[in-house]
Structure 1
C-alpha cells in the first residue's frame, strides 16, 4: 500500500496540472482502444465456437465464412492495437515532458543541485533519476495500470461464459452426478490465487535487487563520465591502471548484482511459464468426460477452454507481470526518495539573505561543518559600493565554504547577509565552461548577445583573450580546449560583461601569473568602480589588490586590517 501511496504522490501533480485536460483525452482514447481490443477477444471467442463446430460437422461453407470473419477480426485487432499504442505514447510523451521540466525546475531552484551534492552524498546520480527513472516510471505505470484495467474487463466479460458452461460439468458423487454452480470459475480463481501467492513469495527479493542494479549501473556510467571530464589530469598522473581497477571494481559489483537478479528472475520465469502454460489444459480435463459422452461439440469445448484461459490470465495478471512490478516498485522508491530529498534540501536553514541594492552587510554569521565542528562565530562586516575585500584564512579553514554560506548554498550556517541579490556573480577557482559557442560561454549565465560583439571583443583584449577573437561562433568543449589560465581569464571577462553589483572571487586568479592577475583586477577596478569585490585566496600578491583584508581564524574574532590602496 505504501508503494501505491508513493505512486499517487508522484503522479497526482501532473493529473492536477494544466495538462490534465489533453492528458485525460489521451487517456480516454487509450482506454477506449483497449476496451475495443477486449471486444475483439470476445468476438474471437465466439468465432472459436462456430469455426470448430463447422470443422467437426464438415461444413465447408461455414468453414469459409469463418475464415472471412477471422480476417476481419485480425484487421480490427491490428487497427485497435496501433491506435492504443498511438494514444498511449502521446500521453507518455506529454507526461514525461511535464514531469521532467518540473523536476528540473525543482532541482535547479535555490541551488538544490549543489546542496544535494554537498549535504546528501547518499542521493546518488540525480541525472539518472531525472533522465531515466522518470521515463521508466511513466511508461511502466501506464503499461501496468492499463494492463490491470484490461485484465479486469476481460475477467468480467468472460466470467459469465464460464459460469454458464459450468452447468455442463457433472461431478460423480455417491452414485449421482452433481452440478456445482460456477465450478470452472472457482477452479480458475483457486488456481490463480495459488499461482499469484507462489510468484510473490518466489520473487520477494526482486524489488531490492532491481533497486541496487539501477544504482550500480548509474555509478559505473558516472565513473566513465568522470574520466572523460578529467582526461588530461589522469593522463598526467599516468593513472590509467588505477582507473582501470576502479572501473573493474564497479563493473564487478554491477555484474555480481545482475547475476543475482538473473538467478532470481530464472526462478520466477520458470514458475510463471509453467503456471501460465498449464492453465490451458485444466478445462479440457474437467470437461473431457462430458465431451466424449457427446454432451457438447468440439467448438463448445474450444470456446470454453479459451474463455477459461482469458479468465485465468486476467486473474493471474500479477503473476505474469511480477518482474515488471518489482522493477516498477524500485523506480517508485528511487523517485520518491529523490523528490523527498529535493523538497527537504531547499528548506534547510542557513544564512538569511535579504535584498539591499546599496552596500554589503553581514551580521552575526556563524559557520560549522556537517559534523558540528565550528569554523567561525560572530562575523560582522559592512562594505560600501566600490570596496574590495580580501579574506585570508589558514589552509583548510573553509574559505570556499564561507562563500557558499554568503550566497545561500551552505545550510550549516546562521546569521544575516544583506546585499543586491539580483545582481551578484560568483567566480570559482575552476570556472564552469558550458558547451556551445565561445560567445555563449563568455556571456554565461546571461543569454549570448550577438549584437554586442564589439564590446565583447574589447573585453577579450582587456583580459588577454584576443587570440580567440576569431572563434566566437566555434562550438567546442571549452573546458578541454582552453588551459586553466585561459579559463580564469574568461571568468574575469564574464565579470566585465555582466557588471555585477557584488562579485565573489573564490581563488579565481590562482592559475594566473602576477602580472596577468594584477591586470585583471585593474580592469575590474576601472570598468566596475561601484562593484563590491570580495576575494578569497592564499597568494600574498592579492593583498595589494584590495582595499581591505579580513583575517579569519576558527572560532576567534575576525580581524579587519587597514585599507590598502592599489
Structure 2
C-alpha cells in the first residue's frame, strides 16, 4: 500500500495540472483500444468453438468461413494494437515532458541543486533520477496499469463462459456423479492464488536488488564522466592506474549485484514459465473423461481450455509481471526519495537578504560550519558604490563561505545584508562555461546580444582573448578546450558585459599571472567605477585594487582595515 501511495504522490501533480484534459483524452483512447482488444479475444474464443467443431465435423464450408473470420480477427487485433500503442506513446510523451520539466523546475528553483549538495550528501545521481527514472516510472506505470485493466476485464468477460462450462464436469462422489457449480472457476482461482503467493515469496528480494543495480550503474557512469571532466589533472598526476582500479571496483560492484539479480530472475523466470504454461492443460485433463464419452465436441473443449487460460492469466497477472513490478517499485522508491529531499531542503537563507539599489550593508552577521564551529560572529560592514573589499585569510578560515552567506547559498548563518541583488554577479575560481557557443558562454547567465558583438570583441581583446574572436559561433565543450587562465579571463569578459552593481570575485584570478591579473582588475575599476567589488584572494598584490581589507583570523576573530592609496 505504501508503494501505491508513493505512486499517487508522484503521479497526482501531472493529473491535476493544466495537461490533465489532453492527457485524459489520450488515456481514454488507450483504454478504449485496450477494451477493443479484449473484445477481439472474446470473439476469438467463440471462433475456437465453431472452427474446431467444423474440423471435427469435416465441414469444409464452415472451415473456409472460419478462415475468413480468422483473418478479420487478426486485422482487428493489429489495428487496435497499433491504435493503443499510438495513444499510449502520445500520453507517455506528454507526461514525461511535463514531469521532467516540473522536477527540473524544483531542482533548479531556489537553488536546491546547490543546497542539496551542501546538506543532503546522500542524494546520489540526481541526473539519473531526472533523465532516466522519470521515464521508467511513466512507461512502467502505464504498462502495468493497462495490463491490470486488461486482466480485470478479461477475467469478468471469460468468467461466465468458464462458469457455464463447469456444468459439463461431473465428479464421482459416493457412487454418484456430482456437479459442482463453477468448479473450473474455483480451480483457476485457487491455482492462481497459490502461484501468485509463491512468486512473491520467491522474488521478495528483487525490489532491493533492482534499486541497488540502478544506483551502482549510475555511480559507474558518473565516475567515467568525472574522468572526462578532469582529464588534464589526471594525466598530470599520471593517475590512470588509480582511476582504472576505481572504475573496476565500481564495475565489479555493479556486476556483483547484477549477478545476484540474475540468479533471482532465473528462479522467478523458471517458476513462472512452468506455472503459466501448465495452466493450459489443466482443464483438458479435468474434462477429458466427459469429452471422450462424447458429452461435448472438440470445439467446446478448445473454447473451455482457452477461457480457462484467460481467467487464470487474469488472476495470475502479478506472477507474469513480477520482475517488472519489482523494478517499478525500485524506481518509485528512488524518485520518492529524491522528491522528499527536494521538499525537505531548506530554501531559506540563514541571512536576511533585502534589495537596495545602492551600497552594501552587513549587520550582525554570524557564520558557522555544520559541526557548529564558528567562523565569524557579530560582523558589521558598510560599503558605498565604488567601494571595494578584499577578504584575506589562510585556507579553511571561511573566505568563500562568507561569499556564500552574503549571496544566500550558505544555510549555517544569520544576520542581514542589503544590496542590489537584482544586479549581482559572482565569479568563482573555476568558471562555469555552459555547453554551446563561445558567445553563449561569455554572456552567461544572460542570453547573448549579437548587436553588442563589437563591445564583446573589444572586451575580449582587453583581457587578452583576441585570438578567440573568430570562434564566437563555434560550439564546443569550452571548459575542456580552454586553459583555466583563459576560462578566468572569459569570466572577466562576462563581468564587463553584464555590468553588475555588486561583483563578488572568489579567487577568480588565481590562475592568472601578475600582468593579466593587474590588467583584468584595472579594467573592472575603469569600466565599472560605481560597482562594489568584493574579492577573495591570497595574493598581497590584490590589496592595491581595494579600499578595504578584511583579514579573517580564525576563532570568529577578524581585522578590518583600509588601504591607504588604492588604485
Length-normalised TM-score, structure 2: 0.98
Compared with structure 1, are the counterparts of its residues 430 and 349 closer, same or farther at alpha carbon in structure 2 (3 Å cutoff)?
closer
* C-alpha separation in 2, matches of 1:408 and 1:261: 45
Match of residue 195 from structure 2: 195
**1:30-45 equivalence runs, <5 A:** 30-45=30-45
Q: Deviations over 1:168-226 (max 9, x none)?
A: 11111001111111111111110010011001000000000000000000000000001
Deviation at 1:477, TM superposition (A): 1.5
**1:44-55 equivalence runs, <5 A:** 44-55=44-55
Deviation at 1:280, TM superposition (A): 0.5
Deviation at 1:350, TM superposition (A): 2.1
* C-alpha separation in 1, matches of 2:250 and 2:344: 30
SS class of match (2:386): coil
* C-alpha separation in 1, matches of 2:368 and 2:517: 31
* C-alpha separation in 1, matches of 2:549 and 2:212: 50
Match of residue 311 from structure 2: 311
Aligned partners of 1:203 and 1:268 also within 8 Å: yes
The aligned length equals 566
Deviation at 1:394, TM superposition (A): 2.3
Match of residue 129 from structure 2: 129
Q: Does 1:454 align with 2:457?
A: no
Compared with structure 1, are the counterparts of its residues 348 and 354 closer, same or farther at alpha carbon in structure 2 (3 Å cutoff)?
closer
Q: Deviations over 1:233-253 (max 9, x none)?
A: 111111111110010000000
* C-alpha separation in 2, matches of 1:81 and 1:474: 46
**1:140-179 equivalence runs, <5 A:** 140-179=140-179
SS class of match (1:414): strand
* C-alpha separation in 2, matches of 1:7 and 1:142: 12
Aligned partners of 2:435 and 2:477 also within 8 Å: yes
Select between 418-427 and 305-314 the one with higher mean Cα deviation.
418-427
Match of residue 361 from structure 1: 361
Match of residue 62 from structure 1: 62
SS class of match (2:422): coil
Aligned partners of 1:110 and 1:346 also within 8 Å: no
* C-alpha separation in 2, matches of 1:562 and 1:405: 23
Q: Does 1:326 align with 2:297?
A: no
* C-alpha separation in 2, matches of 1:264 and 1:348: 46
Match of residue 423 from structure 2: 423
Aligned partners of 2:425 and 2:495 also within 8 Å: yes
**1:206-245 equivalence runs, <5 A:** 206-245=206-245
Match of residue 555 from structure 2: 555
Aligned partners of 1:110 and 1:409 also within 8 Å: no
* C-alpha separation in 1, matches of 2:241 and 2:105: 40
Structure 1 moving runs of 4+ over 4 Å:
none
Deviation at 1:372, TM superposition (A): 2.2
* C-alpha separation in 1, matches of 2:409 and 2:169: 74
* C-alpha separation in 1, matches of 2:351 and 2:343: 18
Deviation at 1:545, TM superposition (A): 1.2
Deviation at 1:349, TM superposition (A): 5.2
Q: Deviations over 1:497-518 (max 9, x none)?
A: 0001111100000011112111
Select between 371-380 and 17-26 the one with higher mean Cα deviation.
371-380
* C-alpha separation in 1, matches of 2:501 and 2:555: 30
* C-alpha separation in 2, matches of 1:149 and 1:490: 58
Aligned partners of 1:360 and 1:382 also within 8 Å: yes
Select between 61-70 and 342-351 the one with higher mean Cα deviation.
342-351
Match of residue 544 from structure 1: 544
The Cα RMSD (Å) is: 1.0
Match of residue 256 from structure 1: 256
Match of residue 99 from structure 2: 99
Aligned partners of 2:390 and 2:534 also within 8 Å: yes
Match of residue 534 from structure 2: 534
Aligned partners of 1:442 and 1:493 also within 8 Å: yes
Match of residue 293 from structure 1: 293
Match of residue 466 from structure 1: 466
Aligned partners of 1:439 and 1:448 also within 8 Å: yes
Q: Deviations over 1:2-24 (max 9, x none)?
A: 11001000000000000001000
* C-alpha separation in 2, matches of 1:101 and 1:493: 31
- Unpaired runs of at least 5, structure 2: none
SS class of match (2:376): strand
**1:379-528 equivalence runs, <5 A:** 379-528=379-528
* C-alpha separation in 2, matches of 1:100 and 1:429: 31
Aligned partners of 1:377 and 1:555 also within 8 Å: no
* C-alpha separation in 1, matches of 2:258 and 2:268: 15
Deviation at 1:321, TM superposition (A): 0.3
Aligned partners of 1:376 and 1:553 also within 8 Å: no
* C-alpha separation in 1, matches of 2:415 and 2:56: 90
Deviation at 1:348, TM superposition (A): 5.5
* C-alpha separation in 2, matches of 1:103 and 1:381: 39
SS class of match (1:418): strand
Q: Does 1:5 align with 2:5?
A: yes
SS class of match (1:390): strand
SS class of match (2:121): coil
Aligned partners of 1:353 and 1:417 also within 8 Å: yes
Aligned partners of 2:49 and 2:302 also within 8 Å: yes
SS class of match (2:459): helix
**1:102-121 equivalence runs, <5 A:** 102-121=102-121
